[in-house]
Amino acid sequence: GDSVTQMEGPVTLSEEAFLTINCTYTATGYPSLFWYVQYPGEGLQLLLKATKADDKGSNKGFEATYRKETTSFHLEKGSVQVSDSAVYFCALSDSGYALNFGKGTSLLVTP
């Protein structure tokens, strides 16, 4: 079945460092891909998404490109801030509601 694999954390970075969180997927069809983020004490929220190959999702300085040839959707940010400390989940969906999530990657950004 469809699945998502993302790099294990925790990831610890200094403020203004470059961030990459790797995500690869397996799917029988052509799913939509998502990054969700969970800030401390809050519910999961959609960070960005891409619905077809070569699409780039972006939001709050984060970007991810849907790469069909490498079945990847890596999350990147050029300069992280302390406020980016959170748990990041990669997910895919064929239906738009039954999301398949990865295990999550915890990010801690230190001043």
Partner 1 sequence: GAGVSQTPSNKVTEKGKYVELRCDPISGHTALYWYRQSLGQGPEFLIYFQGTGAADDSGLPNDRFFAVRPEGSVSTLKIQRTERGDSAVYLCASSFGSQNTGELFFGEGSRLTVL
- Give the nearest distance from C-beta 79 to partner 1 in angstroms: 26
- What is the rounded distance in angstroms from the CA atom of residue 66 to the CA atom of residue 69? 9
Q: How many CA atoms lie within 13 A of 82 on its CB side?
A: 2
Token output for 24: 């690869």
- Give the nearest distance from C-beta 106 to partner 1 in angstroms: 11
Measured from the CB atom, is 17 or 87 closer to partner 1? 87
- Which residues are CB-contacts of 64 (< 8 A; sequence separation ≥ 6)? 23, 33, 35, 48, 50, 56, 57, 58, 73, 74, 75, 76
- Give the nearest distance from C-beta 80 to partner 1 in angstroms: 22
Residue 15: phi and psi, rounded to 5, are -55, 140
Binding site for partner 1 (CB under 8 A): 4, 32, 34, 41-46, 49, 89, 91, 93, 95-104
Measured from the CB atom, is 4 or 80 closer to partner 1? 4
Measured from the CB atom, is 5 or 72 closer to partner 1? 5
Measured from the CB atom, is 97 or 111 closer to partner 1? 97
- Give the nearest distance from C-beta 39 to partner 1 in angstroms: 11
